[in-house]
C-alpha cells in the first residue's frame, strides 16, 4: 500500500480527518467513551445537535468503524450506541482537543476581539 499523504488532494486520510475534526464527532465519541448510550440520551446531552445531524453523524461513525449500533427487540425498538475498539484509540486524542478548547477559549475570544477591533 502506498504511504498516505494527507496533503495530497486524493489521499483517503482526508476523509478520516474530516470526520474526526467535526465538532459533533468529538462530542459524541467523548460521551460514548464513558459507556453505551441511546439515541435520545445523546441528543439530550449535546445541546444544539439536531436529530437529523445526530442521525447522520452516528451513521457515518458506524460506517467508519468508530461506533457500533445494537438494536434491542422491544416495542418500540431500543437502539444503543457504543464506541468500538478502533474508536477507543481516538478518545485520548479527541479528549485532549476538547480540554485544549476548554482551557484556551478565553485566549481565543480575546484574540478574536483584538482582530475584530483592528479589521
Output the pTM of the full model. Answer: 0.86
Q: What angle in degrees, to the nearest 10, is found between the helix axes of 23-32 and 13-20?
A: 70
CA 106 to CA 70: how far, in whole Å? 40
Q: Mind listing the pLDDT tens digit for each residue in 34-49?
A: 999 999 999 999 999 9
Give the position of cell 439515541. Answer: 39
pLDDT tens by residue, 49-81: 999 999 999 999 999 999 999 999 988 889 999
Amino acid at each position: 500500500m502506498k504511504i498516505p499523504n494527507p496533503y495530497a488532494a486524493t489521499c483517503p486520510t482526508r476523509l478520516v480527518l474530516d470526520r474526526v475534526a467535526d465538532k459533533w464527532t468529538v462530542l459524541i465519541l467523548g460521551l460514548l467513551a464513558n459507556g453505551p448510550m441511546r439515541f435520545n440520551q445523546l441528543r439530550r446531552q449535546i445541546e444544539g445537535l439536531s436529530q437529523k445531524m445526530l442521525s447522520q453523524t452516528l451513521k457515518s461513525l458506524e460506517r467508519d468503524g468508530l461506533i457500533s449500533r445494537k438494536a434491542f427487540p422491544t416495542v418500540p425498538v431500543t437502539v444503543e450506541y457504543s464506541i468500538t475498539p478502533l474508536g477507543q484509540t481516538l478518545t485520548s486524542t479527541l479528549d485532549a482537543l476538547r480540554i485544549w478548547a476548554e482551557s484556551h477559549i478565553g485566549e481565543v475570544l480575546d484574540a478574536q476581539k483584538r482582530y475584530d477591533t483592528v479589521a
